[in-house]
């Protein structure tokens, strides 16, 4: 059984120690100022060198999902938000990707803020026949249950007020191997534990996203939304921090509901921009696409611009639409 030492997940360190490792303590927005703005913007004299060497793309391996992406997978080091209403299959989608990855010899980590590990193992086995324990024993899969309330308390304790700015240092996530895929299930459960302290929560997840980037894995962070969402996360900034957003819908049509998913944004590749129907069966998520759906999308892009909304970048975070948590 793997254990995650909570203090190691998010621990206050002496300032000097953070500097030694070349890490910077990022200032939180002060309570009065809202989002912190840089005092001055420095422009390099010479254009920065951009490495055009492509990073490896990992297939998502969830039914035909990869056929919706031009590159056929997700670039390593990218974090995708999987958003959707309750019971739309967010956990199934993420676990299916990890499970079929470990079957191919990859390593996966599932960080659960909601479901105890035992329950997760049982549900995945009973619902879809996925034997998680087999791969845990082999050391290729780690299921870790984290207490979001402990994390929230730990963050609160480690926040220090300095010159009107809140400062926090975060330790590395303490996981037992270098993963190819990481799932965080879910940010919604984590945000509830922060009990309205939006600043601490936003600050924590910014660091969490930065840590996930460092693994060079493909990461899925789950967010629970309304059934037909206009906002894809509780604090409204997760979709801007993410490199991609996948939305799962369970839309009501008369007396029945239809499941459909959408790749709302993807920084690493072009992708299909329409709703694609899916179902949940004893094999997990089954996506119903037509042959050549990606080619069709690409040819449409030649004549008209993408219909997907621009969701900014990490360096240009907009003011989140929600001021507090419900």
Ligand X SMILES: Nc1ncnc2c1ncn2[C@@H]1O[C@H](COP(=O)(O)OP(=O)(O)OP(=O)(O)O)[C@@H](O)[C@H]1O
Binding site for ligand X (CB under 6 A): 84, 86-92, 127, 224, 280-282
Q: How far is the CB of 125 from ligand X (least distance, A)?
A: 11
Angle at 285 between CA 282 and CA 290, to 5 degrees: 120
CA atoms of 323 and 52, how far apart (whole Å): 39
| Closest among 61, 70, 71, 59 to 92, alpha carbons compared | 61
Closer CB to Mg ion, 78 or 91, in the complex: 91
108 binds, among ligand X, Mg ion, none (CB under 5 to 8 A by kind): none
280 binds, among ligand X, Mg ion, none (CB under 5 to 8 A by kind): ligand X
Q: How far is the CB of 101 from ligand X (least distance, A)?
A: 17
- Taking CB under 5 A as the binding criterion, the range among 63-71, 90-98, 187-195, 198-206 that sits at the site for Mg ion is 90-98
116 CB-near residues (< 8 Å, 6+ apart)? 145
172 binds, among Mg ion, ligand X, none (CB under 5 to 8 A by kind): none
Structure tokens at 278: 């899916």
Closer CB to ligand X, 168 or 183, in the complex: 183
Q: Is the dihedral of CA 221, 192, 152, 143 positive or negative?
A: negative
Structure tokens at 208: 């969490």
35 binds, among Mg ion, ligand X, none (CB under 5 to 8 A by kind): none
DSSP per position, 29-89: PPTTTSS---S-----SSPPP---PPPPEEP--STTGGGGBTTSSEETT-EEEEEESTTSS
Closer CB to Mg ion, 114 or 262, in the complex: 114
Q: How far is the CB of 140 from ligand X (least distance, A)?
A: 21
Options 67, 79, 88, 91; binder of Mg ion; rule CB under 5 A: 91
Q: What are phi and psi of 15, to 5 degrees?
A: -55, -40
- Taking CB under 5 A as the binding criterion, the range among 71-79, 85-93, 198-206, 225-233 that sits at the site for Mg ion is 85-93
Residues that contact Mg ion, how many (by CB under 5 A): 1
Q: How far is the CB of 250 from ligand X (least distance, A)?
A: 9
- Taking CB under 5 A as the binding criterion, the range among 70-78, 86-94, 152-160, 173-181 that sits at the site for Mg ion is 86-94
Closer CB to ligand X, 29 or 85, in the complex: 85
Binding of Mg ion at residue 225 (CB under 5 A)?
no
Closer CB to Mg ion, 69 or 193, in the complex: 193
DSSP per position, 149-210: HHHHHHHHHH-EEETTEEE---PPP--SS--SEEEEE-HHHHHHHTTT-HHHHHHHHHHHHH
271 binds, among Mg ion, ligand X, none (CB under 5 to 8 A by kind): none
Angle at 184 between CA 97 and CA 95, to 5 degrees: 25
For 114-148, letters b (16+ CB in 10 Å) and e give: bbebeebbebbeeebebebeebbeeebbbbbbbeb
Q: How far is the CB of 301 from Mg ion (least distance, A)?
A: 33
Per the CB < 8 A criterion, the answer to whether 279 and 299 are in contact is: no
Closer CB to Mg ion, 92 or 200, in the complex: 92
88 binds, among ligand X, Mg ion, none (CB under 5 to 8 A by kind): ligand X
- Taking CB under 5 A as the binding criterion, the range among 71-79, 84-92, 188-196, 273-281 that sits at the site for Mg ion is 84-92
Closer CB to ligand X, 57 or 113, in the complex: 113
> Would you tell me which residues interact with Mg ion (CB under 5 A)?
91
């Amino acid at each position: 059984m793997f254990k995650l030492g909570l203090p190691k997940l998010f621990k206050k360190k002496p300032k000097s120690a953070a500097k030694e490792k070349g890490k910077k303590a990022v200032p939180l927005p002060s309570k009065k100022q809202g989002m912190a703005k840089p005092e001055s913007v420095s422009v390099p004299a010479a254009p920065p060198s951009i490495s055009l060497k492509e990073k490896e793309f990992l297939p998502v391996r969830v039914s035909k999902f990869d056929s919706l992406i031009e590159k056929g997978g997700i670039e390593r080091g990218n974090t995708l938000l999987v958003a959707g209403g309750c019971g739309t299959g967010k956990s199934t989608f993420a676990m299916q990707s990890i499970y079929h990855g470990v079957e191919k010899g990859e390593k996966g980590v599932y960080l659960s803020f909601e479901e105890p590990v035992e329950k997760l193992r049982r549900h995945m086995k009973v619902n879809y026949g996925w034997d998680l324990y087999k791969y845990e024993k082999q050391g290729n899969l780690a299921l870790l249950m984290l207490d979001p309330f402990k994390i929230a308390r730990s963050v609160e304790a480690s926040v220090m007020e300095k010159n009107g700015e809140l400062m926090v240092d975060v330790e590395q996530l303490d996981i037992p191997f270098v993963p190819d895929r990481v799932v965080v299930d879910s940010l919604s459960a984590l945000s509830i534990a922060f009990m309205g302290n939006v600043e601490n929560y936003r600050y924590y997840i910014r660091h969490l996203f930065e840590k996930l980037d460092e693994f060079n894995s493909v990461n899925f962070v789950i967010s629970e939304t309304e059934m037909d969402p206009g906002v894809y996360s509780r604090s409204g900034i997760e979709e801007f921090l993410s490199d991609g957003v996948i939305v799962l819908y369970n839309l009501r049509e008369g007396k029945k509901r239809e499941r459909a998913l959408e790749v709302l944004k993807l920084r690493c590749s072009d992708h299909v921009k329409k709703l694609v129907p899916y179902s949940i069966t004893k094999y997990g998520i089954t996506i119903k696409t037509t042959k050549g759906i990606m080619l069709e999308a690409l040819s449409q892009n030649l004549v008209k611009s993408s219909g997907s909304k621009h969701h900014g970048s990490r360096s240009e975070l907009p003011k989140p639409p929600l001021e507090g948590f419900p």
